[in-house]
């Protein structure tokens, strides 16, 4: 899924809810994925619904990054989907922590 880019995210616009069994994922991507909706799903439940987040421009103090943020994820292992049928990677979410992951390169 691709939608029009929503523009840069301002400071304080993302709230991460962390807890004993809840973590978050920040998926850093190349700029050419700006506006893309990237889906993830839990590995321990094959029938689980996928959730998605839009890649957005994220201004930082010294640079600009592009990332999708998944703010409230139950702890566990997740598949990051390249498209509807192709997994791109897996990431492990730990309760009380923010997991950072970089989109895998194609080569």
Give the CATH number of the domain where residue 55 resides: 2.60.40
* Assigned domain for 106 exists: no
Q: pTM for this one?
A: 0.85
Exposure string for 63-84, b = 16+ CB within 10 A, e = fewer: eeebbbbbbebeebebbbbeee
* Assigned domain for 8 exists: no
Domain count, the chain: 1
* Assigned domain for 79 exists: yes
> What average pLDDT does the segment 94-105 reach?
95
* Assigned domain for 107 exists: no
pLDDT in tens, 44-71: 887 788 999 999 998 888 989 999 999 9
* Assigned domain for 51 exists: yes
Domain with 56, as residue range(s), is: 22-99
């Amino acid at each position: 899924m691709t939608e029009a880019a929503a523009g840069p995210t301002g400071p304080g616009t993302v709230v991460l809810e962390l807890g004993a069994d809840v973590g978050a994922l920040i998926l850093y991507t190349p700029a050419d994925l700006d506006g893309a909706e990237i889906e993830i799903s839990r590995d321990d439940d094959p029938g689980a619904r996928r959730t998605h987040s839009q890649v957005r421009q994220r201004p930082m103090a010294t640079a600009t990054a592009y990332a999708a943020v998944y703010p409230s994820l139950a702890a566990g292992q997740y598949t990051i989907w390249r498209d509807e049928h192709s997994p791109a990677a897996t990431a492990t979410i730990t309760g009380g922590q923010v997991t950072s992951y970089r989109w895998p390169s194609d080569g």
